[in-house]
């Protein structure tokens, strides 16, 4: 497996992983109507416009994209916490490839990259009811840091933040 920067040709695979990831991990947490209505084409177009605005890495093996991670070296999505220096914005692995070290490898890569850039306080938000991901982040050294509400579709959900001190 190789971790590398995203390329435009990876966007469709990344969107497919995000949609299948949400539909798998969030079923029973987020409204089914929202999950079932996720529009692949709209998401592809959005990612084509914004994929160069933040850092993206993908995990690839034999030409197959297995997962991706998005991150920023600032706190633009968590401005209410000025002490935060960077943020992991998304970490997704193909549902059938989970528990094979892919998520761990990408998170370690992103944290090392941010550390090399002089960042030491990194935040990552997760749905409060997403217990498998929460256990993973805790195992990786994340410490519960904050909570907030987020709107997805027309519903309000609770998120928790984990801070990684590197």
Query: What gap in Å lies between CA 44 and CA 118, rounded to an integer?
Result: 32
On the question of pLDDT at 148 being above 90, the answer is yes
* CA 138 centroid distance within chain: 15
Tell me the pLDDT tens digit for each residue of 65-120: 999 999 999 988 889 999 999 999 999 999 999 999 999 999 999 999 999 999 99
CATH architecture observed for domain 2-165: 3-Layer(aba) Sandwich (3.40)
Confidence of residue 51 (pLDDT cuts 50, 70, 90): confident
The sign of the torsion formed by the CA atoms of 43, 44, 50, 52 equals: positive
On the question of pLDDT at 52 being above 90, the answer is no
Output the pTM of the full model.
0.94
Average pLDDT over residues 28-44: 96
Average pLDDT over residues 23-45: 96
Q: E strand or H helix at 18, and its extent?
A: helix 11-25
pLDDT of residue 151: 96
């Amino acid at each position: 497996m190789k971790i590398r920067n995203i390329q435009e040709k990876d966007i469709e695979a990344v969107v497919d992983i995000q949609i299948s990831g949400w539909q798998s991990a969030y079923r029973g947490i987020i409204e089914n109507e929202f999950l079932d209505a996720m529009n692949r084409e709209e998401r592809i177009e959005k990612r084509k416009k914004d994929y160069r605005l933040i850092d993206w890495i993908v995990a690839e093996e034999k030409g197959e994209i297995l997962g991706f991670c998005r991150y920023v070296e600032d706190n633009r999505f968590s401005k209410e916490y000025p002490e935060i220096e960077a943020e992991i914005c998304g970490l997704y692995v193909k549902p059938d490839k989970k528990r094979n070290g892919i998520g761990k490898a990408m998170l370690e890569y992103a944290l090392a990259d941010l550390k090399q850039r002089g960042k030491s306080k990194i935040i990552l938000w997760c749905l409060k009811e997403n217990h498998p991901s929460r256990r993973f982040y805790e195992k990786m050294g994340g410490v519960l840091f904050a909570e907030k509400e987020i709107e997805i579709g027309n519903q309000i959900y609770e998120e928790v933040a984990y801070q990684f001190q590197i």
